[in-house]
Amino acid sequence: MSVTSTDLITVRGVRKRFGAREVLRDIDLNILAGSITVILGTNGAGKTTLLRILGLLEPADEGTVAYDGVVPGASTVAYGTSTRSPSQDGHFLPLRRQMLLAFQHPAIFSSSVLSNVTYGLQLRGVSRAEAEERSMAALRETGISDRARQHASSLSGGEAARLSVARALALQPRLLFLDEPSASLDPYGTKLLEDLLMHMRDDLGMTAVVVTQDIFEARRVADQVAFLHQGRIIEQAPRDDFFTNPRDEQTRRFAAGELLV
């Protein structure tokens, strides 16, 4: 893996354990600016934990994550035994406000659909009127603007997933992290999501990291694919190389849909 000037995130030697269980072992990963990176892996491979570390929701035990060019100047989070969680450190707030993580099970505030979207904008000091205007536009793009005034708990699973995407469209962070984004979507919703994802990359210059176990989704949206297996990155490559010419035997078998032992 070579470090180029266009790497927006550079992960080196990241480890994470929960009690005795080693979830991530020595992760190295590069996220190219303006690209969609799909992290593929089976259940329990450590995908969600890795995504939460990249999204600064959870600290790693060891290693460094460097965010380059997300906010003015370089921001590197170096993890060690005494590191506070980045979410507790005000120094990283501007960086955190340039990223957004959409959870696998879409979380909602028990309030109106609209204020679920405006919340993030108002945190950034956007006036209420402008926040509502931008949020309504985002809800229209995701096809749930007719639910704006309703209580968010009345949304179906698929609509809640659309709400997550609407938040991203309204906030337009530099970095978007999606955890199994199509898990609760029907094929139509999945198509809409993937179109919006590519729109955000192409027209808004966003960089996205998508975690999924769906190799077909990876084929459709990925620029880069990384294969995470048992807490290790087995292989990272441009999409076509990854699927047509995998270097690693386990990658080849996973990409071919074979069972891994």
Partner 1 sequence: MGDIGRGFVQAVRLIVSLDPGTYEALGTSLRVTMSALFWSALAGFPLGILLAFSHFRGKQGVMNVVYTLMGFPPVVAGLLVYLLLSRSGPLGPLGLLYTPTAMVIAQITLALPVIVGLSVLGLRGADKGVFDLALTLGATRAQASIALLREARLAILGAVITAFGNAISEVGAAMLVGGNIQGATRTLTTALVLETRQGSFDRAIALGIILLLVSFLVNVVLSRLGEGTSEVGNVRHIN
Q: Which stretch binds partner 1 (CB under 8 A): 25-33, 65-73, 104-112, 215-223?
A: 104-112
* Sheet strands side by side (includes 74-79): 21-32, 7-18, 62-68, 74-79
Report DSSP state, residue 259.
Answer: P
d(CA 228, CA 112): 37
> Contact, 109 vs 119, CB < 8 A?
yes
Residue count of the chain: 261
108 binds partner 1 (CB under 8 A): yes
Q: Which of 127, 115, 79, 73 is nearest to 98 (CA)?
A: 73
Q: For the CB of residue 206, give the shortest distance to partner 1 in the complex, in Å.
A: 15
> Contact, 239 vs 212, CB < 8 A?
no
110 binds partner 1 (CB under 8 A): yes
* Other residues' Cβ atoms within 10 Å of the Cβ of residue 129: 8
Report DSSP state, residue 21.
Answer: E
> In the complex with partner 1, which residue's Cβ is closer, 31 or 218?
31
> In the complex with partner 1, which residue's Cβ is closer, 2 or 124?
124
183 binds partner 1 (CB under 8 A): no
Q: Which burial class, exposed, middle or buried, applies to 235 when counting CB atoms under 10 A from its CB (0-12, 13-18, 19+)?
A: buried
91 binds partner 1 (CB under 8 A): no
Residues 222-251 that bind partner 1 (CB under 8 A): none
111 binds partner 1 (CB under 8 A): yes
Candidate residues 5, 43, 73, 124; the one interacting with partner 1 per rule CB under 8 A: 124
Candidate residues 151, 191, 199, 247; the one interacting with partner 1 per rule CB under 8 A: 151
- Helix (H) / strand (E) element for 101: namely strand 99-102
> Contact, 92 vs 83, CB < 8 A?
no
Per-residue binding string, partner 1, 28-67, x by CB under 8 A, is ---------------------------x-x----------
Q: Which stretch binds partner 1 (CB under 8 A): 109-117, 139-147, 212-220, 221-229?
A: 109-117
Q: Which stretch binds partner 1 (CB under 8 A): 64-72, 117-125, 135-143, 224-232?
A: 117-125
123 binds partner 1 (CB under 8 A): yes
Candidate residues 107, 130, 240, 245; the one interacting with partner 1 per rule CB under 8 A: 107
CA dihedral 32, 38, 39, 41 (to 10 degrees): -160
User: What residue ranges bind partner 1 (CB under 8 A)?
Assistant: 55, 57, 87-88, 90, 93, 96-97, 99-101, 103, 105, 107-112, 115-116, 118-120, 122-125, 151, 167, 171
